[in-house]
Amino acid sequence: MPNTIAIIGAGLAGLTLARLLHLHGIHAAIFEAEPSAQARPQGGLLDIHTYNGQQALKAAGLFDDFLTLVRPAEDAKRIVDKNGRILLDRPGNPQTAHPEVDRGELRQLLLNSLPPDQIHWGHKLSAITSGADGTQRLRFENGASYDAALVVGADGAWSRVRPVVSTEQPKYSGLCFFELTIANIKATHPHSAALIGSGTLMAVAPGQGILAHCNQDGSARLYVALAQSLESITALQAAAIPSALQNAFAGWAPELLALMENTDKPALLRPIYELPVDHQWPSHPAITLIGDAAHLMSPFAGEGANLALLDGAELAQYLVQQPDNRPEAIATFEEAMFRRTQPFAKTSASNLRRFFDSEAPYSTVGLFEQR
């Protein structure tokens, strides 16, 4: 039986796990469906928290390098109503304990910390079968196969590993994002850049909103939010965008509508899905899940990436501590992960509802005043 570890997915969770194992002389093969690290945009800003994400980066020996990626004062928050009236304008704190970084840069930091040949790009998992001796045979859509003693599903919301241990599938949260970008916003649309400010702009009303922030490369990323059924969203997607979004936000302040008018790339549809807040599964001796594959939640608690980092670090810790009893190490890790993540999943689901409820934007202001 092979003594190998296979990690499915080269996101934050899988890379952190691989990094910690690498530091302890344990090799893990990483299989990623995408053809390269640059195959698609990696999303926007992440605030990395002292009590989980930063702990993981310290354990990985990457904390000092992480600090060089921090974008000071990017934690500023500005909340406006649909008329553009400012309701909360909180400046950034250069000394914040939860600094903001670009997701793509953080992922690249983790990638750079591993031997390049450890990651097998272009390997999309198609099936897992268990041998009589407990070996897990992985088959990939490119025809490759791999035998492993332990398989870790770090492959995100639509994990192909999850169905082996759990019958749960992500459910639509009722909210959808349309992701838009504005290139070189300060030069091309300075008024829009000033409206967004140095951190995150949140223009919110019942059932809809515009969330925006500027990126390190000078572009701005917008998330146009609509609380509608998937059927309605599909119909909207089939219509002309951004004109359909403009119609959905008819009556909003011109300066807010201008954010959508000034975008220069096609909108990306991002329905927000969630796993049940109490998602668990019977422990499997050779297969486990981390990150979104284990506890997918909406971004409205700001914990997804942080929990993914800590998942990877803690699973590595248990595997290192119990090298001769991996099934026990996995079970112990999972019990701790379930306890740790469920409160955040509940908060995330609650915050999503409150963000866009009938009292918005005042309910949104209340959330940030409580922090």
157 domain residue, yes or no: yes
Residue 365 resides in a domain: no
The answer to whether the CB of 163 falls within 8 A of the CB of 39 is: no
Residues 186 and 113 in one domain: no
Residue 93's pLDDT is what?
77
* 152 plus 179 within the same structural domain: no
Residue 107 shares a structural domain with residue 128: yes
Pair (247, 106) in one structural domain: no
CATH number at residue 197: 3.30.9.30
Residue 149 lies in a domain: yes
State the CATH number of the domain containing residue 61.
3.50.50.60
- pLDDT top residue among 365 and 1: 365
pLDDT digits (tens, 9 = 90+) for 52-109: 999 999 999 999 999 999 887 778 899 999 999 999 999 887 777 788 898 989 999 9
Does residue 178 share a domain with residue 157? no
What local confidence, expressed as pLDDT, does residue 240 receive? 58
Whether residue 106 is found in the same domain as residue 65? yes
Q: Strands, E, within 103-199: which ranges?
A: 119-121, 125-130, 136-140, 145-148, 150-153, 171-182
Q: How many Å separate Cα 103 from the centre of its chain?
A: 9
Contact 295, 231 (CB under 8 A): no
Q: Are 146 and 282 members of one domain?
A: yes
217 with 340, same domain?
no
Domain interval for residue 244? 173-273
- The secondary structure of 9-53 as a DSSP string is --SHHHHHHHHHHHHTT--EEEEESSSSTTSS---SEEEPPTTTH
Mean pLDDT of the 238-264 span: 83
- Inside any domain, residue 152: yes
Structural domain total, the chain: 2
Is residue 308 domain-shared with residue 225, that is, in the same domain?
A: no
Pair (103, 183) in one structural domain: no
